[in-house]
């Protein structure tokens, strides 16, 4: 296959003070607890013409990780609920996409479809939903479950959830609201559609009580890389946020996922693969290494062990020799792909437990690059032109400094190579990503119009 050309996509993954687990201790890191902080971050990314900002989320505080909670900036604590925050950022920005994480495991499709439709309207077509499932014990207990929902059941619910959500976005056709003052007709009832959905997990009448989103559907992003996750993404996702350590793994994942699209009547361009990348940039290689080591020195062992516990079956690693090899781990009902990635990384590089947590302290299993602008651009270009990625979600080590470093040092090099835009060419997130606007499935009447008030 010939090497590809064209431009790659860039997202800014905004996580608190930055992505390094000890980044909050760095003297230059923002506290990231005010709206003004996130407005600043979003405007920095928008000025650089990034496709989107991306927010993670969770609905449990992790306080039982062998004392790590008091030493970490994250541990399930978020300064804002992400859809609320992005609604505020919609008014503070004008072009950059706004992607929020929301779980299908402990939400209902009607409310979530309504929230993201609202965000899409408030932002004039810039909303994206990062669909995840929730497999951690703390979240499960916050919603009445003594243990995590089994992995297969979570994905079965997610499959039904996304079908209902997209049908709700379609249930009000684009031209349903006539608002004809002369005739007194506000809405064309033939263009308002009931779902009358009766499934295993949800019973939803419909239609949505908000006009159809400007993008038709907010862009659907997914992050699962397990087998059920890849199948769900191949059928329904429009962008995938993933983690691969090597070029070979990235190319393999890309070919695998894109190769699944045809059986769902989709083309390769209908899905963008956007791996996470954690860049530490210096004007020289020595400066980059110095920056990285300064962050690594801030890691406390209790935090490193807690990080492993978070990503590997909730095992208390303090029970093992921290300078010994990673033990065999039991299967998990949590994040299967991330646990497998950590095990493979430890085995491939022959890492001790301490070396493993130091290895993932910045990127948490995502791709980590430390080097000069040229070195980092070389590696991003290599993955892009060899079909290992359609773009990247930038995981700055600290905020705002790490993001500014990448924008000021690496982005100009990507532009010099013709790999990244100099101006936005459209106004919506779909425009930025080169995704088609989906038509309403109800545009040709196949569903029962909503009942009138008299009925």
**Which of these ranges, 277-281, 301-305, 389-393, 423-427, has the smallest mean pLDDT?**
301-305
- pTM for this entry: 0.88
pLDDT at 145: 87
pLDDT at 453: 36
pLDDT-derived band of residue 443, with 50, 70 and 90 as boundaries? confident
Strands 197-198 and 52-55: unpaired
Q: Is 395 inside a domain boundary?
A: yes
3-state helix, strand, coil in the chain (%, to 5): 40, 15, 45
pLDDT at 454: 36
pLDDT at 68: 56
Q: Which residue has the tokens 């769902």?
A: 264
Select the more confidently predicted residue: 215 or 137: 215
pLDDT-derived band of residue 452, with 50, 70 and 90 as boundaries? very low
**Which of these ranges, 157-166, 294-303, 347-356, 413-422, has the smallest mean pLDDT?**
347-356
CATH code of residue 237: 3.20.20.30
Q: Is 296 inside a domain boundary?
A: no
Q: Is 359 inside a domain boundary?
A: no
Q: pLDDT tens digit string along 221-266?
A: 998 788 988 999 999 999 999 999 899 999 999 999 999 999 999 9
**Tally of domains within the chain:** 1
Q: Is 328 inside a domain boundary?
A: no
Section 410-434 average pLDDT: 98
pLDDT at 333: 56
Integer-rounded Cα radius of gyration of the chain: 22
Q: Is 165 inside a domain boundary?
A: yes
The span from the CA of 84 to the CA of 89, in Å, is 9
Select the more confidently predicted residue: 65 or 78: 78
Section 57-83 average pLDDT: 72
Q: Which residue has the tokens 């705002």?
A: 400
Asked if residue 152 has pLDDT above 50, the reply is yes
Q: What is the largest CA-CA distance in the chain?
A: 79
Asked if residue 417 has pLDDT above 90, the reply is yes
CA angle 76, 77, 80 (to 5 degrees): 125
Asked if residue 381 has pLDDT above 90, the reply is yes
Q: What percent of the chain has pLDDT over 90?
A: 65
DSSP 193: B
Select the more confidently predicted residue: 65 or 343: 343
Contact (Cβ atoms closer than 8 angstroms) between residue 354 and residue 304: yes
Output the six-digit token pair for 151.
């992995």
Asked if residue 330 has pLDDT above 70, the reply is no
Q: Is 207 inside a domain boundary?
A: yes
The span from the CA of 455 to the CA of 450, in Å, is 10
The span from the CA of 17 to the CA of 31, in Å, is 6
Q: Is 1 inside a domain boundary?
A: no
Contact (Cβ atoms closer than 8 angstroms) between residue 421 and residue 224: no
The span from the CA of 358 to the CA of 301, in Å, is 9
Alpha carbons within 13 angstroms on the beta-carbon side of residue 393 total 29
Asked if residue 435 has pLDDT above 50, the reply is yes
Select the more confidently predicted residue: 31 or 89: 89
The span from the CA of 138 to the CA of 346, in Å, is 26
Contact (Cβ atoms closer than 8 angstroms) between residue 394 and residue 11: yes
The span from the CA of 100 to the CA of 102, in Å, is 7
**Which of these ranges, 30-34, 207-211, 419-423, has the smallest mean pLDDT?**
30-34
Select the more confidently predicted residue: 245 or 305: 245
Please provide the DSSP assignment of 300-352 as one string: -HHHHHHHHHHHTTT--GGGS-TTSBPPP----SS-HHHHHHHHHHHHHHT-B
The span from the CA of 194 to the CA of 308, in Å, is 46
Average pLDDT taken over every residue of the chain: 89
**Which of these ranges, 220-224, 301-305, 422-426, has the smallest mean pLDDT?**
301-305
**192 lies in which domain range?**
9-277+367-433
Asked if residue 109 has pLDDT above 60, the reply is yes
Q: pLDDT tens digit string along 190-221?
A: 999 999 999 999 999 999 999 999 999 999 99
pLDDT at 338: 64
pLDDT-derived band of residue 73, with 50, 70 and 90 as boundaries? low
pLDDT at 450: 47
Strands 239-240 and 219-222: parallel
What 3-state DSSP class applies to 39? helix
Return the H-helix or E-strand segment holding 112: helix 109-122
For 172, 257, 424, the CA distances from 14, given in Å and listed in that order, are 33, 26, 21
Asked if residue 74 has pLDDT above 60, the reply is yes
pLDDT at 70: 54
């Amino acid at each position: 296959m010939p090497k590809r050309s064209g431009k790659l996509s860039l997202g800014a993954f905004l996580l608190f003070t930055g992505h390094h687990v000890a980044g909050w201790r760095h003297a230059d890191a923002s506290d990231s607890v005010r709206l003004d902080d996130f407005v600043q971050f979003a405007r920095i990314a928008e000025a650089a013409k990034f496709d989107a900002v991306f927010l993670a989320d969770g609905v449990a505080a992790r306080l039982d990780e062998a004392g790590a909670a008091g030493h970490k900036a994250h541990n399930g604590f978020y300064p804002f609920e992400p859809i609320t925050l992005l609604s505020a950022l919609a008014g503070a920005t004008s072009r950059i996409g706004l992607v929020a994480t929301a779980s299908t495991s402990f939400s209902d499709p009607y409310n979530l479809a309504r929230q993201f439709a609202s965000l899409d309207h408030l932002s004039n077509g810039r909303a994206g939903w990062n669909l995840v499932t929730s497999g951690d014990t703390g979240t499960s207990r916050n919603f009445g479950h003594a243990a995590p929902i089994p992995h297969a059941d979570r994905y079965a619910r997610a499959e039904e959830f996304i079908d209902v959500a997209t049908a709700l976005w379609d249930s009000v056709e684009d031209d349903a609201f006539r608002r004809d003052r002369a005739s007194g007709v506000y809405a064309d009832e033939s263009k308002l559609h009931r779902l009358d959905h009766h499934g295993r997990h949800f019973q939803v009448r419909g239609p949505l009580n908000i006009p159809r989103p400007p993008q038709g559907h907010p862009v659907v992003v997914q992050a699962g890389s397990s087998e059920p996750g890849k199948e769900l993404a191949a059928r329904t996702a429009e962008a995938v946020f993933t983690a691969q350590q090597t070029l070979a793994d990235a190319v393999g994942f890309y070919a695998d996922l894109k190769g699944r699209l045809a059986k769902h009547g989709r083309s390769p361009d209908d899905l963008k693969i956007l791996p996470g990348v954690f860049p530490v940039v210096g004007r020289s290689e020595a400066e980059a290494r110095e920056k990285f080591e300064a962050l690594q020195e801030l890691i406390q062992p209790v935090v490193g062990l807690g990080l492993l516990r978070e990503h590997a079956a909730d095992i208390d690693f303090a029970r093992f020799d921290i300078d010994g090899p990673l033990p065999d781990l039991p299967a998990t009902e949590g994040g299967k792909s991330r646990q497998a990635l950590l095990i493979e990384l430890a085995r491939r590089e022959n890492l001790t437990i301490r070396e493993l947590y130091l290895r993932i302290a910045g990127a948490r299993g995502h791709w980590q690059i430390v080097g000069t602008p040229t070195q980092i651009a070389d590696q991003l270009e290599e993955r892009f032109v060899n079909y290992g990625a359609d773009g990247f979600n930038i995981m700055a080590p600290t905020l705002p400094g790490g993001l500014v470093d990448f924008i000021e040092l690496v982005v100009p090099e990507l532009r010099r190579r013709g790999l990244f835009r100099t101006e936005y060419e459209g106004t919506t997130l779909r425009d930025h990503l080169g995704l088609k606007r989906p038509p309403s499935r109800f545009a040709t009447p196949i569903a029962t119009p909503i009942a009138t008030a008299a009925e």
